[in-house]
């Protein structure tokens, strides 16, 4: 009896992990093809990637700057900063969660990215064009990064590449402010945001 239960549990685990691998690595959405333009911000295109772990070749600019792996979230935000804000990061590598350095205090320079870093919550409100960084979790250990495309008194909108095969490139997240001192993006995965100052 115990052996049969163990076999059933092992079989269920194998099926679950196989399904997760398929969802995370293959395009299971028949409405889109990998590499298809699905959105844009300031003429910088967001491309569809299928499963969040799907990886193509590295995208390099004509001058050799590393934008990241097509069509991951990091590739979009770095391409956006390069094309729209004329910004190159001193450290052009790393996963999404690596854009945020927990040792840097709110409002100080993140030298690896040459951007000012704000923690969540922060004494400074998010702004349009800020990078927003999400921590990793058990389904996505690399984290996530997006661009803030709109800020109102009570929410932000983000634009993102590679949110998953059926997720939208745009997402609204609640923003709360307390006594004009603390701004909190109401998503526990948000580590903070980065900003170009020049």
**Spans of all domains in the chain:** 2-195
Q: What value does the mean pLDDT of the chain take?
A: 90
Buried-exposed string 2-13: b where 16+ CB fall within 10 A, e elsewhere: eeeeeeeeeeee
Neighbours of 37 (CB within 10 A): 9
Residue 25 has pLDDT above 80, yes or no: no
- Enumerate residues 6+ apart whose C-beta is below 8 A from 182: 121, 122, 123
pLDDT at 23 over 60: no
DSSP summary character for residue 71: T
pLDDT at 112: 98
Pick the CATH number of 2-195 from 2.70.50.60, 3.90.1720.10, 3.30.470.10, 3.90.1150.150: 3.90.1720.10
pLDDT digits (tens, 9 = 90+) for 134-148: 999 887 899 999 999
CB 125 within 8 A of CB 155: no
Res 124: pLDDT = 96
Asked whether the predicted pLDDT for residue 10 surpasses 70, the reply is: no
CB 58 within 8 A of CB 69: yes
pLDDT in tens, 47-85: 999 988 899 899 999 999 999 999 999 999 999 999 999
Asked whether the predicted pLDDT for residue 18 surpasses 80, the reply is no
Given pLDDT bands bounded at 50, 70 and 90, which one contains residue 30? confident
Q: Yes or no: say if 191 and 100 are a contact pair by the CB < 8 Å rule.
A: yes
Residue in 149, 140, 169 with CA at minimum distance from that of residue 32: 169
């Amino acid at each position: 009896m115990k052996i049969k239960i163990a076999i059933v549990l092992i079989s269920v685990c194998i099926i679950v992990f196989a399904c997760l691998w398929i969802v995370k690595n293959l395009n299971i959405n028949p409405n889109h093809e990998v590499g298809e333009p699905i959105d844009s911000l300031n003429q910088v295109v967001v491309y569809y990637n299928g499963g969040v772990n799907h990886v193509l070749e590295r995208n390099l600019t004509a001058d050799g700057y590393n934008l990241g792996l097509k069509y991951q979230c990091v590739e979009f935000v770095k391409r956006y900063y390069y094309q729209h804000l004329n910004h190159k990061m001193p450290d052009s590598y790393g996963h999404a969660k690596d854009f945020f350095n927990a040792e840097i205090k709110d409002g100080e320079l993140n030298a690896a990215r040459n951007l000012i870093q704000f923690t969540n919550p922060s004494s400074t409100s998010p702004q349009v064009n800020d990078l927003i960084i999400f921590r990793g979790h058990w389904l996505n250990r690399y984290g996530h990064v997006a661009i803030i495309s709109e800020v109102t008194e009570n929410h932000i909108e983000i634009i993102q590449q590679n949110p998953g095969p059926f997720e939208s490139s745009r997402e609204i997240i609640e923003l709360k402010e307390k006594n004009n001192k603390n701004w909190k993006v109401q998503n526990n995965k948000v580590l903070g945001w980065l900003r170009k100052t020049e």
